[in-house]
Amino acid sequence: TRSEELWREGWLHTGDVGSLDAHGFLAISDRIKDVIKTGGEWLSSLELESYISQCPGVAEVAVIGVADDKWGERPAALVVP
């Protein structure tokens, strides 16, 4: 399934770049790519995050592309309330 592609070996593969500090905390420093190609159109994950972050009750958001047989990729939002 598609969620199995996103989750591998217990890790969520979002396409972000980060590192663990001496205490084991993860610091996200960059993203491998900032665009999602869906249905032949390019979407900016940063622009989608900007819109979603303005919604009431959203503290943090990350938008990633998830493989899709019909659309190529589809956007998925990971939201912290």
Whole-angstrom Cα distance, residue 66 to residue 16? 13
Whether the per-residue pLDDT at 42 is higher than 80: the answer is yes
pTM: 0.66
- The separation between CA 30 and the C-alpha centre of its own chain, rounded to angstroms, equals 12
pLDDT of residue 11: 82
Total of domains in the chain: 1
Whole-angstrom Cα distance, residue 9 to residue 35? 25
> Which range marks the domain in which residue 30 is found?
2-80
- Look up the CATH number of the domain holding residue 23: 3.30.300.30
| Residues near 38 by beta carbon (within 8 Å), at least 6 away in sequence | 65, 68, 71, 72, 73, 74, 75
pLDDT of residue 3: 61
